[in-house]
Structure 1
Amino acid sequence: MSTIGHLINGKVVTEGARKQAVYNPATGVPEKEVLLASRETVEDAIAAAEAAYPAWRNTPPMKRARIMFKYKELLEANADEICSLIGEEHGKISHDAMGELQRGIENVEYACGIPELLKGEHSRNAGPGIDSWSEFQPLGVVAGITPFNFPVMVPMWMFPMAIACGNPFILKPSERDPSSTLLIAQLLQEAGLPDGVLNVVNGDKEAVDTLLSDERIKAVSFVGSTPVAEYIYTTANANGKRCQALGGAKNHAIIMPDADLDNAVNQLVGAAFGSSGERCMALSVAVAVGDTTADALISKMKAAMASLKVGVHSESSNDFGPLITGAHRDKVVGFIDSAEADGAKIVVDGRNPEVPDYKNGFFVGGTLIDQVTPEMESYRQEIFGPVLQVIRVDTMEEAMKLINDHEYGNGTCIFTRDGEAARYFSDHVQVGMVGINVPLPVPVAYHSFGGWKRSLFGDLHAYGPDGVRFYTKRKTITKRWPSASVREGVSFSMPT
């Protein structure tokens, strides 16, 4: 059984006392093991990053950009291997893994523009003979803690921009599917990144707490569940660190009576069940306005779901794969059970799907549940599985109140042909990312990603312009060269 190690100061470390099994979720069998970093191992990585900081900070942004350009080429050249590793350890179907990788590459492309992005402002003659300007300087050693559901894309939300801005980076990926993350880090080394600028430590809470407590870490980025996000944010702030912590979601889609229902159904099927629903932007609730709309939606969804294929990652005709662990599969099934016990109607039941040759895999099929109410536990919690719940309401205002009252505010969308309704919705819904006939309104790399309410802890969103600001600190400089022939007296007034 192969061992997945850490990347510290440009070298892969494969020695350590603690290890954890890495499963193939399609077979339910552990096929690899991953080292879990001790406090000392994490401190070694931080020391390597700190030693690399002075030279990397002073590397011209154009030279950093050239490394990112080369990195993009290597990611594309190694795409098949990267996506295969994602599939083996996460279960994501090959076409979905390729989409994840492409989204990550787009963030690398944005980071290639770092010479332009780091340009500050300049004001000549802000006062008599006085010039003033701002610069954006790196923070120092920064860290990222990333989730299992996007082992390639989410790390690339963080480290390309952080590194392009002049910061060394410590990455703590998910220990459930670490191989693809380690590979993309090694490719950045191959692109010419100096040793120590990017370090990867696999681990559990011991590694996380070391990053949060070590004073050499200046900022922490996190993506994961809301309880952990809140812990990360609170602990990092208590230790004087800058922090952005992206948490959970409960994303609603409003289906208006005038919607193009066939299009809406096609979009809902992909957005609810793609990647087995293990996306923080997955649509998990369809809010149908009017019983006529709801009945038609249920009928068309049921028909569309009849052809859904769940299976192994390497078969590209499959629509989605297994869940990440057996425990998570049982949790998702438990939510379906609880909805049924609470009086909801299971229209399409994904419990115990038939997956030939993979009977021990962690599979749940696409599930459609009608007659859900806001009081149900399955509605209040983030299911994070291939489950779409339908809530029936009478008006758009009632639908929006459901969304605005929920503790999460990550993503949402509305299906309608009415421009006035769409504008009202986008203006007044209390959610960070909004789609109009777009079910997964994930911002492109040159915008920024982040929700509202308990879906985000911190002031700055991930990647895009907010990413540049998060990984830099502004310094404003005011300069004057006094005339040798003029001497001014002392002034005790505030300068104007």
Structure 2
Amino acid sequence: MNSIGHFLSNEHWPGTAGRTSDIINPATGSVTGKVSLASKTDVDTVIEVAAQALPAWAATPPAKRAAVMFNFRDLLKRHTKELAELLSAEHGKTLPDAEGEIARGIEVVEFASSIPQVLKGEYSEQVGSQVDSFSVRQPVGIVAGITPFNFPAMVPLWMYPVAIACGNTFVLKPSEKDPTVVLRIAELLAEAGLPEGVFNVVNGDKEAVDALLDHPKIDAVSFVGSTAIGEYIYKRGTDAGKRVQALCGAKNHMIIMPDADMEQVTDALIGSAYGSAGERCMAISVAVPVGEETADRLIESLAPRIQSLKVAPYTDPSSELGPVISKQSFDKIHDYIDQGLEKGATLAVDGRGLKLQGYEDGYFIGGCLFDNVTTDMSIYKEEIFGPVLSVVRGKSYDEAVNMVNDHEYGNGTAIFTRDGDAARDFWSRAQIGMVGINVPIPVPVAYHSFGGWKRSLFGDHHIHGMEGVRFYTRLKTMTTRWPSGIRTGAEFNFTAGKDV
């Protein structure tokens, strides 16, 4: 059985708290390891190490920081399959999904490798008589990252490569449900040449989170997770005077216009609604076909594809849908399905009741499809975070757009259409942070930034890309005037008889 501790000064560290939490294989329901839960004292120890490492790392030339990121990127690429295996074993997602997660994280490391170019300041000559002005961006200090279970590799990689490349030190508090891949990646970062104390991992629960939020030496906090916890972290962190970005929950809609290619729509929904068992903040969980005919064609095309999804553990190469993360999630998803039925929605595809031979205690739920969902139902309003897609039949395009804009969440949305005018109108009007046009999961590439609107984001900055650089740095502007060394009557010619 694995015993997982923390990572401090480029070494594994058991901590002193003596508390642990079980690591459970979601495919079997069995305990595969124990992870240490840090006390406030443990967190204080880790932060002190990060504080000691900060001055030297902040003074390290950006080109040398970038060189570490280049090495790190190569190591991640070399170890992708190993990392994917570790990830899938604890999370449950399929190996191709896990490998894709690692690949998206590597993109951010590649962006962080360009930090010398990104950190270039601005200079204005002669803003006044013999007065010049210029600006630079300097590291904010010690950054804490608090990350969720659903992307245990990628989401942390959205944070610390950019933060570290900008000259900060970093303390990561990952999910205690699947911590192993995080610690293996920490080893690779040390192997890449990162100095001791610059990147540290502390595993824990609410006690560790509160210790990070309250500690006076933590300057900034990045969070990805549920809205309830994100709002708590934002308030507690900002009350303590910290810079906080909290990326939170979602209820992502896809509008399907009558002219859309239904085969393309079906493929898109299978991947975006059921990939990673629906445990994505960018999952499409609401489909809005415009018009009854469009809705009927969608259900006819989609239902058999959902029914044919191969549900299996990640060790089966043909698996398309793995288990959800925990018994708690499993029960919560079933409760939402019951609520939808009680309110009159039609369960067109029922994925409940799966029992896989040899995995009877696993947390497997097949793909579920609700039709005739209305906007007053909990399955429409709330984030289910499972393989459940709701179809809300829209009477018109305007009704569909209003549906998107009236929802409390504003993370991602998409429209499928052949009409360029409708597409442009949609992205212009959508009150959403990330919009896809015939793209079901509009996650930006690493040099753009990821983030939602409304209750999907607390704070002023999105993550990675230039928004990440701005969050992890402070702007400093200098205005300079130097007394002139040139005096009236000065001799500008070489003096005869003297060496030049």
Calculate the TM-score normalised by the size of structure 1: 0.97
Q: Does residue 255 of structure 2 align to residue 254 of structure 1?
A: yes
- Equivalent position amino acid for 1:277 in 2: G
Distance 2:487 2:370 in 1: 82
> Secondary structure at 2:97's aligned position in 1?
helix
2:155 — aligned with what? 154
State the AA in 2 paired with 1:11: E
User: What amino acid is the match of 1:2?
Assistant: N
Query: In structure 1, what residue type is equivalent to 2:353?
Result: N
Structure 1: which 5+ residue stretches go unaligned?
A: 488-496
For structure 2, the 5+ residue unaligned runs are 489-500
1 CA distance for matches of 2:60 and 2:230?
33
Deviation at 1:276? Answer: 0.2
Look up the match of 1:287.
288
Match of 1:378, as an amino acid? I
Aligned-partner Cα distance in 2 for 1:412–1:174: 27
Q: Distance in 2 between matches of 1:445 and 1:379?
A: 30
Counterparts in 2 of 1:253-332, with a 5 A limit?
253-332=254-333
Residue 44 (structure 2) pairs with residue 14 (structure 1): no
CA shift at 1:146, angstroms?
0.2
Kept in 2: contact 1:151–1:174 (CA 8 A): yes
> Which residue does 1:135 correspond to in 2?
136
Amino acid at match of 1:218: D
- Whichever residue aligns with residue 359 of structure 2, its letter is Y
Is this contact kept in 2: 1:86–1:180, CA < 8 A? Answer: yes
Q: Is residue 3–residue 14 contact of structure 1 (8 Å, CA) maintained in 2?
A: no
CA contact (8 A) 1:53 1:167 kept: yes
Q: Shift of residue 318 of structure 1?
A: 0.7
- Structure 1: which amino acid aligns with 2:213? L
For the residues of structure 1 that align with 2:42 and 2:354, how far apart are their CA atoms? 42
The answer for the alignment partner of 1:435 in structure 2 is: 436
Query: What is the total number of aligned residue pairs between the two structures?
Result: 487
Once residues 390 and 11 of structure 2 are traced to their aligned partners in structure 1, the CA distance between those partners, rounded to angstroms, is 47
* 1:93 partnered with 2:113: no
* Equivalent residues of 1:237, 1:243 under 8 A apart: yes
Deviating beyond 4 angstroms after TM superposition, the runs of 4 or more aligned structure 1 residues are 484-487
Contact map agreement 2:27 2:322 (CA 8 A) in 1? yes
Match of 2:495 in 1: none
For 1:76, the equivalent position in structure 2 comes to 77
Take 1:188 and 1:295, find their aligned partners in 2: how far apart are those partners?
51
* Equivalent position SS for 2:145: strand
What's 2:408 paired with?
A: 407
- 1:392 partner SS: coil
Tell me the residue number matched to 2:176: 175
* In 1, Cα distance between equivalents of 2:150 and 2:485: 65
Deviations 1:50-73 (A, max 9, x none): 000010011000000000000011
Structure 1 residue 124 displacement after superposition: 1.5
Aligned-pair CA distance for 1:354 = 3.7
Give, as a single letter, the amino acid of the residue that structure 1 aligns with 2:14.
T
When structure 1 is superposed on structure 2, of 297-306 and 89-98 the one drifting more is 297-306
8 Å CA contact 1:351–1:364 kept in 2: the answer is: yes
% identical aligned pairs: 56
Aligned mates of 2:150, 2:447 — CA distance in 1:
22
What is aligned with 1:2? 2
Provide, for residues 22-55 of structure 1, a one-character-per-residue CA deviation record: whole Å limited to 9, x for no partner: 0000000011000000001011110000000010
Deviation at 1:485, TM superposition (A): 6.8
Give the whole-Å Cα distance in 1 for the aligned partners of 2:223 and 2:11. 25
One-letter code aligned to 1:8: L
5 Å-filtered alignment, 1:206-225, equals 206-225=207-226
Q: Hey, what's the Cα distance between the residues in 2 that align with 1:172 and 1:316?
A: 32
Letter in 1 for 2:187: Q
Q: Distance in 1 between matches of 2:486 and 2:27?
A: 81
Is the partner of 1:482 in helix, strand or coil?
coil
Give the 3-state SS of the residue equivalent to 1:142 in structure 2.
strand
Q: TM-score normalized by structure 2? A: 0.96
Name the larger-Rg structure: 2
- SS of residue matched to 2:249: coil
- Distance in 1 (alpha carbons) for counterparts of 2:478 and 2:101: 41
Matched with 2:491 is: none
